[in-house]
């Protein structure tokens, strides 16, 4: 392999040796900081349009189904690009990928600020999503590669804040901006922050990167696009197409078929080292269980964040600002406890973090099933905070444990798979929660029941499903073992 920094020839063993060399503390902090802040901005950007969408629809004169493509298109792009990052991490340097990702995100932000038409705004969202899809695996892979094993839990605790808090406070920030200014300012205020993050990355990310010229299997790229794009499209659109499920079903069938062919092809290509995505991490039990649990965690997180404002605003008559402030304490709690749980992981391994985390996540979901129009706001804040503490514990433990027993050379592929699981879990969870709540509310309203009662009944059933899924995570947690590392 040609080393991108020195031009010398290196082997996989050389790459592992380079990665094991400790970097100066200041440089390592700068690298992780730049990646973490970049990832936070991008994940925040993923959910900020949930509140701003009505204003955008009015400005451009588009329908709700058209406007929803700003979210669907973003998710589709992320789902298609993330599986490619295992290849990209082998082919290109850390610095090169970071600069490309942040530059793409910046171009998307600027384009969104000045977008004269809805089509241009949609293109801007797709460009933003490309950067997002690259930075998330880059953050996880870099932490595993350069942070000493004894400190990974603490750093992953900080990384968990990035991944979990962004979606939670995105609607709050969006609501404040939309209520005081225009939706354009959502992107305008992010632009200078992205410039600062890009500058930090250029300054600090100067490390030897062992890369190799891996041939691209075009057929695998096409299969990946149809597989993950088809599945995410089917999942994202099924909730809004209950009257005619033809398109989501066709998309889902194509996605599943392409995924099966993709898996078979990757297994065959792995024998010759030409695979796009190496699936060998699935042989590891910690990795398999972590994928299941991260999908549950992200599914319940995004599902909860999406339906809480809907039934509280329409059922209890609360304002968007009030709901946003109610969700804020949960996000702040995650920021406070993430690093603490990271240190617990470093000292005692995954189980003391994952088991209570899964229990609190499940408890939060079951407590939400008791919410009705007369529930005091303080109780809702408490339920959400319990849920968020569990989420912080789970995210910290899973980010650290997922690849703890996976060989170094598979870190990039494992990170790509893990982040793909996060996106699929979030899409599935959101669809289940919204579809169940909407279907029950519509059925009860059609039968003559009050719409408010229908919304709360639908939300209760959605949270029961979330509680069952979270209970599955409770069952999985004890089976993730500690791995002794130097």
Average pLDDT over residues 407-429: 83
For residue 207, pLDDT beyond 70: yes
Cβ atoms of 155 and 342 closer than 8 Å: yes
Average pLDDT over residues 415-439: 83
For residue 108, pLDDT beyond 90: yes
Place of tokens 């972590």: 290
**How confident is the model at residue 65, as a pLDDT?**
65
**Cα–Cα distance between 116 and 252 in angstroms, integer?**
34
Cβ atoms of 476 and 297 closer than 8 Å: no
- 25-29, 318-322, 355-359, 379-383: range with lowest mean pLDDT: 318-322
SS3 (DSSP) at 176:
helix
Q: Which tens digit of pLDDT belongs to each residue from 234-293?
A: 877 776 666 677 888 898 899 999 999 999 999 998 888 788 888 888 988 999 999 999
**How confident is the model at residue 100, as a pLDDT?**
94
**How confident is the model at residue 364, as a pLDDT?**
94
> Which residues fall within 8 angstroms of residue 431, CB to CB, at 6 or more apart?
235, 236, 238, 239
Neighbours of 412 (CB within 10 A): 24
* Res. 7 pLDDT band, cuts 50 70 90: very low
Q: How far is CA 410 from CA 21, 270, 275, 416, 417, in A?
A: 18, 12, 12, 10, 11
- The token pair at 68 is 């929803």
Neighbours of 195 (CB within 10 A): 13
Place of tokens 């899973």: 398
Give the residue with greater pLDDT, 246 vs 7: 246
**Proportion of the chain above pLDDT 70, given as a percent:** 88
> Which residues fall within 8 angstroms of residue 148, CB to CB, at 6 or more apart?
22
**Cα–Cα distance between 86 and 88 in angstroms, integer?**
6
DSSP structure string for 288-334? HHHHHHHHHHHHHHHHHHHHHHHHHHHHH---HHHHHHHHHHHHHHH
Domain at 22-216+276-479, CATH from 1.20.1250.20, 1.10.10.10, 3.40.50.300, 3.20.20.80: 1.20.1250.20
Dihedral of alpha carbons 133, 134, 140, 144, sign: positive
Provide the CB-side half-sphere exposure for 227 (13 A, CA).
Answer: 21
Could you tell me which of 390, 399, 375, 395 has the C-alpha nearest to residue 333? Answer: 390
Q: Which tens digit of pLDDT belongs to each residue from 57-88?
A: 888 888 766 777 887 788 788 888 888 887 88
SS3 (DSSP) at 210:
strand
**How confident is the model at residue 315, as a pLDDT?**
66
**How confident is the model at residue 106, as a pLDDT?**
95
Could you tell me which of 185, 242, 165 has the C-alpha nearest to residue 49? Answer: 185
Q: What is the 3-state secondary structure (H, E, C) of 259-299?
A: HHHHHHHHHHHHCCCCCCCCCHHHHCHHHHHHHHHHHHHHH
**Proportion of the chain above pLDDT 90, given as a percent:** 24
- The token pair at 193 is 């922050």
Place of tokens 């392409």: 258
Q: Which tens digit of pLDDT belongs to each residue from 8-32?
A: 333 343 444 444 456 777 778 888 8
Whole-prediction pTM value? Answer: 0.80
Burial code (b: 16+ CB inside 10 Å, e: under 16) for 329-363 equals ebbebbeebbbebbebbbeebbbbbbbbbbbbbbb
């Amino acid at each position: 392999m040609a080393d991108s920094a020195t031009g010398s020839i290196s082997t996989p063993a050389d790459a592992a040796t380079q990665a094991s060399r400790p970097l100066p503390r200041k440089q390592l902090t700068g690298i992780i900081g730049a990646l973490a802040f970049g990832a936070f901005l991008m994940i925040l950007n993923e959910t900020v349009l949930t509140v701003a969408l009505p204003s955008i629809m009015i400005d451009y004169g588009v329908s709700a189904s058209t406007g929803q493509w700003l979210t669907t298109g973003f998710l589709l792009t992320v789902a298609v690009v993330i599986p490619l990052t295992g290849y990209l991490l082998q082919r290109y340097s850390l610095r090169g990928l970071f600069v490309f990702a942040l530059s793409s995100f910046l171009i998307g932000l600027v384009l969104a600020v000045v977008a004269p038409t809805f089509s241009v705004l949609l293109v801007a969202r797709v460009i933003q999503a490309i950067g997002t899809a690259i930075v998330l695996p880059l953050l996880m892979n870099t932490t595993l590669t350069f942070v000493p094993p004894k400190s990974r839990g603490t750093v992953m605790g900080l990384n968990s804040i990035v991944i979990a808090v962004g979606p939670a406070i995105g609607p709050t920030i969006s609501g404040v901006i939309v209520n005081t200014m225009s939706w354009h300012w959502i992107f305008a205020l992010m632009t200078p922050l992205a410039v600062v993050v890009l500058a930090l990355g250029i300054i600090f990310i100067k490390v030897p990167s062992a890369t190799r010229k891996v041939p691209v299997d075009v057929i695998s790229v096409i299969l990946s696009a149809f597989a993950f794009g088809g599945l995410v499209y089917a999942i994202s659109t099924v909730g809004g197409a209950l009257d005619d499920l033809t398109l989501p079903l066709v998309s889902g069938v194509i996605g599943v078929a392409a995924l099966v062919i993709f898996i078979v092809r990757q297994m065959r290509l792995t024998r010759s080292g030409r695979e796009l995505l190496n699936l060998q991490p699935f042989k590891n039990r910690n990795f398999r269980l972590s994928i299941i649990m991260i999908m549950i965690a992200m599914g319940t997180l995004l599902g909860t964040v999406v339906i809480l404002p809907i039934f509280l605003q329409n059922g209890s008559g609360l304002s968007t600002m009030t709901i946003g402030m109610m969700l804020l304490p949960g996000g702040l709690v995650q920021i406070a406890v993430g690093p603490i749980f990271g240190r617990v992981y470093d000292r005692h391994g995954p189980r003391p973090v994952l088991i209570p985390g899964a229990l609190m996540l499940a408890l939060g979901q079951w407590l939400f099933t008791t919410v009705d129009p007369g529930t005091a706001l303080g109780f809702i804040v408490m339920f959400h905070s319990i849920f968020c503490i569990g989420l912080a514990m789970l995210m910290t433990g899973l980010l650290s444990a997922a690849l703890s027993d996976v060989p170094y050379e598979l870190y990039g592929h494992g990170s790509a798979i893990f982040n793909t699981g996060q996106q699929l879990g979030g899409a599935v969870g959101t669809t289940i929660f919204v579809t169940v709540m909407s279907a029950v509310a519509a059925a009860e309203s059609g039968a003559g029941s009050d719409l408010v009662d229908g919304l709360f009944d639908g939300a209760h059933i959605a949270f029961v499903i979330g509680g069952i899924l979270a209970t599955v995570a409770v069952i999985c947690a004890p089976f993730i073992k500690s791995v002794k590392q130097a």
